[in-house]
A and B are shown apart, each in its own frame.
Chain A
Amino acid sequence: MRTESSIVQVAMNRHGVVGRRGFLKSLGLGAAGLAAGGLAPLGLTDLLTLRADELRKRQSACILLWMSGGPSQMETFDPKPGTANGGETKVVETAVPGISIAEGWEKTAGVMKDVALIRSMTNKEGNHQRADYQLHTGYVPTATLKHPGLGSIAACELGDSGFDLPHMVAIGGPTVGAGFLGAEYEPFIVPNVQRPPDNAQARVPVERFQRRLGLLNQLEKAGFEQAGGADRVRDHRALYKQTSKMVLSPRMKAFDLDQEDSAIRDAYGRTPFGQGCLLARRLVESGVTFVEVRCGGWDTHNQNNERVGKLAGQVDPGFATLINDLKGRGMLDRTLIVWMGEFGRTPKINATAGRDHFPRVFNVALAGGGVKGGQVVGASSADGTEVQDRPVTVPDLMASICKSLGVDAEKENQTAIGRPIRIVDGGKPVAELFA
């Protein structure tokens, strides 16, 4: 039993480093030792099957609503009415007495009992690309080492290896990738929610598609496998098996939004973001572990209120309907929804009625996944320039997300050179969220 679990451990770590040779080495066998020992060679695909599936068969899922560009906290969930910095923004009362948010978010206000707001997020990074990386990975970007994004971490930790759809899907464009976790956990990107994913449908009738796969397999056996390519063929065959399983999977209909009632499609909002939220729900329902829905346009250096107003018109119905819909289907408890962007925006309104980058104070909204809704964690100061109460750092947020998903934030993955990297470095889960 002991040996078995250590093999599994090594196999699971191979994404980083312990490749075919490293794996053997870790068993005390080099290439020479292997040859001398006459051990049957192991392919990476063999290692994959060594994985302990029971570790991965958790049902938790996460939907990240990514507000690309940095959403203004003042015009979303931390308004400051009646102050110079607060500007013209009015507030709406929510379903939870004592919590008010900015106007334009009426639908979200209606589901506030399920939403926890963190108004005391704080960070130092005010550059889009770097902050985007940091809020996805929990680490500041460095050369030589590429950290995995949250979605890839969740895919790696929670995804069931027998599942026939990708574990991590990004809707609306590319996002931070799998880094050193490797190709297997790269996000599957759906650039446009209105179109089926690229190349996902067979071009020939299913029977012929299967015939082709059979022919391919036979030709590989007769050809390259005999001519020194057996290792490569084995990995390629595993990939084609997985990919064709996906192409032929009945779950692929999750990508087809036409299967939904027109009323529910309307409720999500007939916008790319709204429909993206609906697709996210369908995917999670089908067993996908992590879905990111991206919404651009939040970099409001000018005409902030006007632009955020338009964006809220798309995000508010999508966000609120997603919460209701998941709840109605009994999925909210096991599905964490995270609403955030890479930083907040300056409290002071600039000369072009905009707000600039401001990482020192920003806000994040969470719902589902065991998070206690109807509460506000932390507070910003009256003028919005400082965290007044209970600062929450990026690693704290990451650790909280891990806690909700049942991912061990302390776990160390290994990079290609055997450097141990914790899933989250240094953060503590925000206890109030789970009280």
Chain B
Amino acid sequence: MHEATVDHRRGSGTWAWARSGSWAAAATAGWLGLAAFGLAEEPAKSDPKSDAKAAMKAEADAPLDPAAAREVVQAVQRLRQAAQKKAAKAAPAEPPKRPERKVVAPTITPADLDALVAARLAKESPDVKPAPPTGDLEFVRRVYLDVAGVAPTPAQVREFVQDKAADKRARLIDELLATPEYARNWSRYWREVIQFRASNANAQQVRYDLLEDWIADQFERNRPWDEIAVGLLTATGRTDENGATGFTAAHTASPVQLAGEASRVFLGVQIQCAECHDHKTDSWKREQFHELAAFFAGGRVRRVVKASPGVRAAFAVEQTPRARYAMPDLKDPAKTIPVKPRFFLTSNGTEPAAKLPDGLSPAQLRELAASYITGQDNPWFARAYVNRIWTVLMGEGFYELVDDIGPEREAQGAEILFPLADQWREGGYDVRWLFRTLLNTEAYQRRARSSSSPAGRAQLAAACPSRLRADQIFEALAVALDLPVGGAAPTGSPKTADGKPLKPVKASAGPAAKNGKKAAEAAGLAGAVGKGAARNAGLRTPFNKLFGVDPSTTPDEVLGTIPQALFLMNGPIVHNRTQARPGTPLGAILARSAGDREALDALYLQVLSRRPTPKEVAVCGEYLGKAGDRKEAFEDVYWSLVNSTEFLSRR
């Protein structure tokens, strides 16, 4: 990377530090064989330039004469003394005491939530009859996709439907929440949330695969959401060793970008609009944005291993010992105005947050920012998360956008969201508890309705169908077309924590392709292969490139693209696997089915996890009747189901 210019927009703190004479000290220290780090702390108040000049001169004059050596030693001493003096003056600053986390177990139940929903419906849409509860078939596909990110296999569907226990839905919810696939599904969701807005386009520097692994590990251990957020906001170390650094690396440690994204992702507040001017419609002031950015000064992404033949470059997220933050002066572009960190949201929403003492280190500031963002004295952290999860599970939430909430926006249904989020916050941000509570509500288990029916138009009266995310479509294709699982192939059916399949699974094994580019070409995904080869050779990465959508997009704005439609219409995978011949799912179905109806049932179960409706049976019957070639006609039905809206949707 050859940076020809210094970009003042990012890391002005780092820049100030790097310029303030540390190179001189480092040069001297390096020559004396001292660890450069010991001295590179702070610029000396005495004239570092002349000191350094003396040292450099001495370095050049070899062999060393005693006078010059003395001069060098004195120079180093002066630097040391200055650093000590400075350190003594700025006595280790004490960050303000932040409240300890207290845990009060939440008491709100799914039934309580349903009562709140019913009360709102009665008030807002008294004439609307909510959609009836889902049948087992609708429910089983919905909950598998929402929790584990995979479609259920025909065997899993059959087993659930045949189960006569009254509590089978609650049990399945618990079982799915205990699978590694649950953790993986939601870690993919959050990886996408971060990746889609990344400002660092250098693929080498950000290990999204490790970021995803790290988040999956947290969800699997059910670490509270605040701890996960703190982990992401404060992580340091090599990006190829600590996946949590991905958040900071995704923004090249830029204070401005990190402030904007930390606020958007974790608080749902888009304060970054105030970067250049006071917010046009909201009350955020330009200073407030930069006061938040000041918490993130002093970080950097540094290359710690240079690439060489057989060795990949490595990068690390680091905190410098000290940093200053300044915002551009709008009146004079050549000037900057120093800004001290201060958090913009307060518990009561009126008084400004406490001022901070000077002299806090970037690491301390970063921890403080994480604490302000996730602390129990800030209600928006919980509301942002709860509203987001609610929106994904129900297809609509309490705000128009999941990442534009906060005190400046009005919630539709605050009487539901706020008590739920408040209890979840006081309960210590238990991620599984929230899923379990929401998934067990009647509100979640209602049938889908479109906007052509009153229940579809009224908030909370029906499930809103939404498009599946790329990873879910990839997994659904694996089930529908019986593709090989494992490796970089689809994850496959949920397994229990010890790796045993959760439910009967039938999956054909097959080798995952080794050459990612070739494999992508063969799969009709060549256009989706990005620059910087995918680390996991295989189809998931190019598939995600082709089908990926920013998860913060409002569900009803997620439209498909032409290349996606082409992939499903004409792509080799769908084409080859929908053939009726030995070794394909359809070949097997036709071979074992007694008649057309049985084969049709099996096909619907394979692709859409349900039985065909009488109308669909009639349409297919007519099609089969007119067709000259029965096998071909079945292939056409199979093709149509994989290309259907329903296949790409959660309903």
Using CB atoms and an 8 Å cutoff, list the residues of chain A in contact with chain B.
19-22, 31-32, 34-35, 41, 44, 124-127, 129-130, 132-133, 140-146, 166, 173-174, 182-184, 186, 188-192, 195, 197-203, 208, 211-212, 215-216, 218-220, 222-233, 235-237, 239-240, 242-244, 246-247, 301, 343, 346, 356-360, 416-419
> Chain A residues with Cβ under 8 A from B7's Cβ?
124-125, 127, 130, 140
Cβ of B525 and Cβ of A198 under 8 Å apart? yes
A236→B453 CA distance, assembly (Å): 19
Would you give 25 A-B contacts (Cβ < 8 Å), ordered by A? A21-B400, A34-B457, A35-B454, A129-B200, A132-B201, A142-B260, A144-B260, A145-B197, A174-B528, A198-B525, A199-B572, A212-B636, A212-B639, A215-B637, A215-B640, A216-B644, A219-B641, A223-B644, A223-B646, A227-B448, A228-B453, A228-B456, A228-B465, A231-B465, A416-B553
> Chain A residues with Cβ under 8 A from B456's Cβ?
228, 231
Whether, in the assembled complex, B467 has its beta carbon less than 8 Å from a beta carbon of chain A, the answer is yes
Shortest Cβ-Cβ A-B pairs, 9 listed: A126-B4, A228-B448, A129-B201, A230-B450, A222-B615, A189-B527, A236-B645, A243-B565, A199-B566
Known: A34-B457, A216-B644. A129 touches B202 (CB 8 A): yes
Q: Mark B286-308, 1 if CB is under 8 A from A, else 0.
A: 00000000000000000000000
A32→B121 CA distance, assembly (Å): 11
Cβ of A35 and Cβ of B458 under 8 Å apart? yes
A146→B450 CA distance, assembly (Å): 31
Q: Which of A201, A356, A417 gathers most chain B CB within 10 Å?
A: A417
> Chain A residues with Cβ under 8 A from B9's Cβ?
140
Known: A200-B566, A417-B404. A239 touches B619 (CB 8 A): no
> Chain B residues with Cβ under 8 A from A32's Cβ?
124-125, 458-459
Whether, in the assembled complex, B648 has its beta carbon less than 8 Å from a beta carbon of chain A, the answer is yes
> Chain B residues with Cβ under 8 A from A223's Cβ?
612-613, 615-616, 644, 646
A232→B651 CA distance, assembly (Å): 10
Cβ of A143 and Cβ of B646 under 8 Å apart? no
Cβ of A143 and Cβ of B457 under 8 Å apart? no
A-B contact count (CB 8 A): 263
Q: Apart from A144-B270, A198-B567, A208-B632, what 20 extra A-B contacts exist at CB < 8 Å? A: A22-B400, A32-B125, A41-B451, A44-B559, A126-B3, A142-B272, A143-B272, A146-B196, A183-B561, A191-B526, A203-B570, A219-B644, A227-B613, A229-B448, A230-B450, A231-B556, A239-B565, A343-B4, A346-B4, A416-B401
Cβ of B5 and Cβ of A125 under 8 Å apart? yes
Q: Which of B131, B612, B619 gathers most chain A CB within 10 Å?
A: B619
Closest to B1 in A: A127
Give, as a whole number of angstroms, the nearest-CB distance from B394 to chain A. Answer: 13
> Chain A residues with Cβ under 8 A from B242's Cβ?
none
A219→B561 CA distance, assembly (Å): 21
Cβ of A143 and Cβ of B450 under 8 Å apart? no
Known: A142-B257, A215-B640, A219-B644. A359 touches B4 (CB 8 A): yes
Known: A32-B124, A144-B270, A301-B2. A41 touches B569 (CB 8 A): no
Chain B stretch 620-650: residues in CB contact (< 8 A) with chain A: 620, 623, 632, 636-637, 639-641, 643-646, 648-649
> Chain B residues with Cβ under 8 A from A246's Cβ?
562
Closest to B553 in A: A416
> Chain B residues with Cβ under 8 A from A191's Cβ?
526-527, 529
Known: A215-B636, A228-B448, A359-B4. A182 touches B125 (CB 8 A): no
Cβ of B531 and Cβ of A174 under 8 Å apart? yes
Chain B stretch 130-154: residues in CB contact (< 8 A) with chain A: 131
> Chain B residues with Cβ under 8 A from A141's Cβ?
199, 201
Whether, in the assembled complex, B575 has its beta carbon less than 8 Å from a beta carbon of chain A, the answer is yes
Chain B stretch 431-485: residues in CB contact (< 8 A) with chain A: 447-454, 456-459, 462-463, 465-467
Give, as a whole number of angstroms, the nearest-CB distance from A167 to chain B. Answer: 10
Whether, in the assembled complex, B198 has its beta carbon less than 8 Å from a beta carbon of chain A, the answer is yes
Cβ of B560 and Cβ of A239 under 8 Å apart? yes
Q: Which of A124, A235, A236, A239 gathers most chain B CB within 10 Å?
A: A236
Q: Which of A22, A41, A232 gathers most chain B CB within 10 Å?
A: A232
Q: Mark B195-212, 1 if CB is under 8 A from A, else 0.
A: 011111110000000000
> Chain B residues with Cβ under 8 A from A188's Cβ?
562-563
Closest to A30 in B: B412
A129→B404 CA distance, assembly (Å): 28
> Chain B residues with Cβ under 8 A from A166's Cβ?
562
> Chain A residues with Cβ under 8 A from B556's Cβ?
19-21, 44, 231
Cβ of A192 and Cβ of B526 under 8 Å apart? yes
> Chain B residues with Cβ under 8 A from A174's Cβ?
527-528, 530-531
Whether, in the assembled complex, B571 has its beta carbon less than 8 Å from a beta carbon of chain A, the answer is yes
A235→B560 CA distance, assembly (Å): 8
A15→B458 CA distance, assembly (Å): 24
Whether, in the assembled complex, B587 has its beta carbon less than 8 Å from a beta carbon of chain A, the answer is no
> Chain B residues with Cβ under 8 A from A125's Cβ?
5, 7
Cβ of B459 and Cβ of A215 under 8 Å apart? no
